[in-house]
Structure 1
Amino acid sequence: MSTTEHTAITAPNQFVESKGRRLAYRSIGTGKPIVFCTRFRGNMDVWDPAFLDALAARGFQVITFDYSGLGLSTGEKDYSPFALAKDANDLIEALDLKDVVIGGWSLGGLAAQVVVAMYSERLTHAVLLGTSPPGPNVKLAEQLFYDTASKPVNSFEDEVILFFEPRSQASREAARRSADRIAQRTENRSVPVPADWAAAHIGDKPQNPLFPAEPILQALKTTTLPILHVAGDHDIICPVENWYALNQELPTAQLLTYPRAGHGPQHEHPEATAEHIATFVRSTS
């Protein structure tokens, strides 16, 4: 496993065989491993390089990967958070990582919660980005997400709607900067997730609960693993209000919310989010 001085833009695609399929991943930095599960319709190329590089600069080995059957990974594709969590755990085991921070964005945040509940042996912390807690929600997602996320191809304006705060000029400008950074990787890119297949897994309207996994909620209520959730105050698919509703029930959860921000807070505030994560990991155990 190479951890030479690559950036997120130059990191080579690497592969590891695990349980009958090949998982594709990238790794930058050295230090404490942090493994990120990606979002709906995401692959290794949807992460903002500034966010990943900022984490590497703060002493993390930052690992992103493609789920089974998606991107550059082989195997059967399955968007169940339980299947995605198994991918993450199998990758961690195959690379023999220890003292791991499990991270996840959106759908990947659901997977990361399953990892916490079912595969915590190698973990020290969890970092959740713009995701939903399990169980009933006090605030539903917005129809606008389903109408936008299900398009075969998303324009820049769609991405502003999905991941930023369209009503904020500062957020719009951050969206452009983030998109430009992501576009800098032009070679050895991953394969896009099939849009029709992905759309079939989210339905066409808001659901309550978004993540119907009561056993996972019960696990979060009893875990000793420190959990950080980072969000924008206007997340159209995973409203942050649903985390605050559990304030008295999750004994290890810390909540960080950016004002006038959306579903991709780590892309709008890459350096700040990396610094918050580093401080969280350093100061909790």
Structure 2
Amino acid sequence: MTGLCDARSAPNEFVEINGRRLAYRSVGEGRPILLCVRFRGNMDSWDPAFLDGLAAEGFRAIVFDYSGLGLSSGVPTYDPSEMVRDPLDLIEALQLKEVVIAGWSLGGLVAQIVVASKPGQVTHAVLIGCGPPGPLVKTAEQLFYDTAGIEVYGLEEEEILFFEPKSARSRAAAQASVARIASRTEARSRPVPIAFARAKLGSGPRNPSFPADHVLEALKTTDLPILHIGGDHDIIFPVENWYALNGQLPTVQLLTYPSAGHGPQHEHPEASAAHIAAFVRSTRSAI
């Protein structure tokens, strides 16, 4: 079933594969872009304006709940090397072709593993507010760990985690985005259990935060086009770590928004969708 409605009304759909039931939604028609969500995220963590923007650009935007979380069954995990089974199984179950794999934050690590392990399954990768594998030149801020484990995020926590609190424009964008996300009032997904999330969070910054040498090697040798969209003040995955790899990643393009944080696609939803569309239209891999 293709998504013929907007993000606020897209129905929950389900597919049975490899012993579990994966929940997903589709918005729009066209080239599939499969979006892997952030830490503590579910299908309702995406800004409807961003998903509708992708649909307006000719994509079929597909969001889903990871195994065992939200409305999906199975065993939950936050190990990206295991989480990668979910997007790969969805590609198979939905018989998707010419797929753009995308991921935000933790989901961006999952998307990178798709690139490293199954590059033939996708044509492009879009990474949002995530970090590269390997040693870091700038680590996360303790403020992220102190905030991310709070049970219920209010507007202040949303600003800290995903926007730039120092910027009045960013704070206004946070308020607007939070309102859009809350505007879907029926058939919402279930929150990620706080005990599960806290157990996986950790107490402070790590270096590296994504120790995956084989993924870094893949990024250095792939011909798959990759776009990273970031904010210039991302408190968990500083964008400086991507710029430190200049000259080493042959296909990675970097788009960095000023006075923005960890959720640039929510601060600039339509613009981010337009940039993704231009990137996909203007680049191609050799697969």
TM-score (norm 2): 0.98
- Deviation readout 1:111-138 (Å, 9 max, x if unpaired): 0000111122221000000001000100
2:111 is the alignment partner of 1:116: no
Superposed counterparts of 1:207-246, under 5 Å:
207-246=206-245
What's 2:11 paired with?
A: 12
What's 1:197 paired with?
A: 196
Aligned counterparts of 2:195 and 2:275: Cα–Cα separation in 1: 36
What's 1:39 paired with?
A: 38
User: Alpha carbons of 1:208 and 1:4: their partners in 2 closer, same or farther (altered >3 Å)?
Assistant: closer
2:246 is the alignment partner of 1:270: no
Aligned counterparts of 1:4 and 1:247: Cα–Cα separation in 2: 38
Q: Secondary structure at the match of 1:109?
A: helix
What's 2:151 paired with?
A: 152
User: Alpha carbons of 1:136 and 1:149: their partners in 2 closer, same or farther (altered >3 Å)?
Assistant: same
What's 1:176 paired with?
A: 175
Q: Aligned letter for 1:39?
A: R
- Deviation of residue 210 (structure 1)? 0.7
Q: Aligned letter for 2:259?
A: R
Aligned counterparts of 2:45 and 2:34: Cα–Cα separation in 1: 15
- Deviation of residue 4 (structure 1)? 4.4
Superposed counterparts of 1:13-28, under 5 Å:
13-28=12-27
Q: Secondary structure at the match of 1:207?
A: coil
2:59 is the alignment partner of 1:60: yes
Q: Secondary structure at the match of 1:73?
A: coil
Q: Aligned letter for 1:52?
A: L
Q: Secondary structure at the match of 1:200?
A: helix
Q: Secondary structure at the match of 1:36?
A: strand
- Deviation of residue 151 (structure 1)? 1.1
Q: Secondary structure at the match of 1:42?
A: coil
2:259 is the alignment partner of 1:260: yes
Aligned counterparts of 1:23 and 1:83: Cα–Cα separation in 2: 15
Percent of aligned positions with the same letter in both sequences?
A: 67
Aligned residues: 284
- Deviation readout 1:46-66 (Å, 9 max, x if unpaired): 000000000001100100000
Q: Secondary structure at the match of 1:62?
A: strand
What's 1:134 paired with?
A: 133
- Deviation of residue 156 (structure 1)? 1.1
- Deviation readout 1:74-97 (Å, 9 max, x if unpaired): 000010011111111011111110
Aligned counterparts of 1:216 and 1:3: Cα–Cα separation in 2: 32
Runs of 4+ in 1 over 4 A off after TM superposition: none
Farther-moved stretch of structure 1 (9-18 vs 119-128): 119-128
Say whether the 8 Å CA contact 1:116–1:126 is kept in structure 2.
yes
What's 1:79 paired with?
A: 78
Which runs of no fewer than 5 residues in structure 1 stay unpaired? none
Q: Aligned letter for 1:283?
A: S
Q: Aligned letter for 1:166?
A: P
- Deviation of residue 154 (structure 1)? 1.4
- Deviation readout 1:214-256 (Å, 9 max, x if unpaired): 1110011111100000000000000000000011111000000
Q: Aligned letter for 1:55?
A: L
Say whether the 8 Å CA contact 2:3–2:60 is kept in structure 1.
no
Say whether the 8 Å CA contact 1:44–1:64 is kept in structure 2.
yes
TM-score (norm 1): 0.99
What's 1:93 paired with?
A: 92
Q: Aligned letter for 1:259?
A: P
Q: Secondary structure at the match of 1:242?
A: helix
What's 1:167 paired with?
A: 166
Aligned counterparts of 2:181 and 2:189: Cα–Cα separation in 1: 13
